[in-house]
Amino acid sequence: MLKVINVVGARPNFMKVAPIVEAMKRREREFAPFVVHTGQHYDAAMSEAFFRDLELPAPDVYLGVGSASHAAQTAAVMERFEPVLLQEKPDWVIVVGDVNSTLACALVCSKLGVKVAHVEAGLRSRDRTMPEEINRILTDQVADLLFTPSEDADKNLLAEGIPAERIRLVGNVMIDSLLKHLPGADKSLIREQLSLTEKEYAVVTLHRPANVDCPDTFARILDALETIGHRLPIVFPVHPRTRRTITELGFAKRVAESKTLRLIEPLGYLDFLRLYSGARLVLTDSGGIQEETTVLGIPCLTLRETTERPVTVSLGTNKSVGTDPGKIVFEAMAALDENSRPKHSVPALWDGHTAGRILDALVQS
């Protein structure tokens, strides 16, 4: 039996770890799952909602790291994770995504000679100003197994000198969560509570520092959203960090007086899935939403110059439009003027069975 520590640090990690832990519990003769929550991003109500919605068991260990600078946070995770690793003596540690906890725990494993697997390996934006890009590159260098979501990720790793025997194309584990929970999300009443009609509204999410910490950039995005909002209402679940910067940058009055931009509190997984799955258009700077909208066939505009998920552009419904308001508005209107959903295809192995392929690879390694 393999004892596996599954690390979560921020909410996007929950959707990636939940299917893996569930699959391990179904194969209890082969796996003993153990969940460590670093607490990198932690809000009691939101974390509990995500754990409940995703049917993820309460973490076995909570490190309680909290917010800090990148250096301080990474160091704190390393310091607190090391004794857990020494005590539990796992056969494998699984890290997911690209947050600071991902790199920190991978480094600790590498130093102590514990095998580590990286889920969602090989994604590259080619933008090293993004902290997530640094986390991705370094984690992939030290991981023993690299589980990739798409063929372009395999090519990235091979180009960086990663041996082919360490790479496994398994598909996108976030889509496991998406497909499993779509029926449950249909029971959410969030659209009714917000008086929204399916396909008659847009959804926006913003949280990346490059967008929400710079007043000029944030102002340009707001300009575009206000213009698009004359065409259809825009619902904006506001990330706590974004809400803080709205006030700090002096946009609170402007946003409050907007007749087309509707700010709401962050939502749990099922409510948010119900909200954006019914949208006519999604605008985001998130990574996972680019993938989920591709599977659901929803037009998505990524408010960044680059994306580490180019397959969502080449095959899916996503476009990277940056932060120029003219380009954002032009692409939004083009998407809204289409009479049907854009032609798209779903990448190979984005089929809801990625977690099983990950476990098969662990057993075989």
Mean pLDDT value across residues 337-348: 76
Place of tokens 């496991």: 176
Mean pLDDT of the residues in the chain: 94
Q: How far apart are the first and last CA of the chain?
A: 13
pLDDT in tens, 191-230: 999 999 999 999 999 988 899 999 999 999 999 999 999 9
Give tens-digit pLDDT for 257-305.
Answer: 898 899 999 999 999 999 999 999 999 999 999 999 999 999 999 999 9
Q: Choose among 41, 39, 47: nearest CA to 63.
A: 39
Contact at 8 Å (CB) between 244 and 250? no
Contact assessment for residue 146 and residue 140, using Cβ atoms and an 8 Å cutoff: yes
Structural domain boundaries of the chain? Answer: 2-172+350-364, 183-337
To the query of whether residue 344 is one of the catalytic residues in this protein, the response is no
Catalytic residue of the set 70, 118, 181, 207: 207
Same fold, 2-172+350-364 and 183-337: yes
* CATH architecture for the domain at 183-337: 3-Layer(aba) Sandwich (3.40)
Domain spanning 2-172+350-364: CATH 3.40.630.30? no
What interhelical angle do 173-185 and 288-296 show, nearest 10?
60
pLDDT confidence of residue 122: 98
